[in-house]
Amino acid sequence: MEKDVVLTEVSFKAVRSSGAGGQNVNKVASKVVLSFDLNQSKGLTDEEKVRLQHKIATKLTQDSLLIITSEEERSQFKNRAIAINKLIKCLDDGLKIPKARQKTKVPRSVNEKRLQAKKVMSVVKQNRKTPNL
């Protein structure tokens, strides 16, 4: 993934933030909506696009558009930086290839401990029975 190319393909839109904020919230568009078209991206290879479509499918629209919003800060500039960081983190997490799990053998001590616990429980249950006179 070429981050510089990806960042040039991002489009921003500033909208009014929701929630409490006094009079300022009615005047200033501080919320940032970032949209990134996964299919049209030139910074991603075809394999990366396919992997991302499977990994982050819940975050994509039907047109393979990734939409990220940020309204944590009161500044549009800071929200824009936060949205960019969210995009990069989302793409990096989606492109990570998980390590293959290596099978390991159950340790002998674990098996012995389990069998010992079964013997103890067996003795406890035997002692609960009424004696055979």
Instruction: Kindly list the domain boundaries of the chain, sorted by start residue.
Output: 3-95
Give the tens place of pLDDT for each residue, 24-79: 767 788 889 999 998 888 888 899 999 999 998 898 899 889 999 998 888 889 99
3-95 architecture in CATH? 2-Layer Sandwich (3.30)
Q: What is the dihedral of CA 33, 96, 43, 90, to 10 degrees?
A: 0
Q: Give the pair of three-digit tokens for residue 12.
A: 């921003």
Handedness of CA 78, 79, 80, 86 (dihedral sign): positive
pTM for this model (two decimals): 0.70
In the chain, beta strands by DSSP E: 11-15, 31-37, 65-70
Phi, psi of 77 (to 5 degrees): -65, -45
Give the tens place of pLDDT for each residue, 1-30: 777 788 888 899 888 887 666 677 677 888
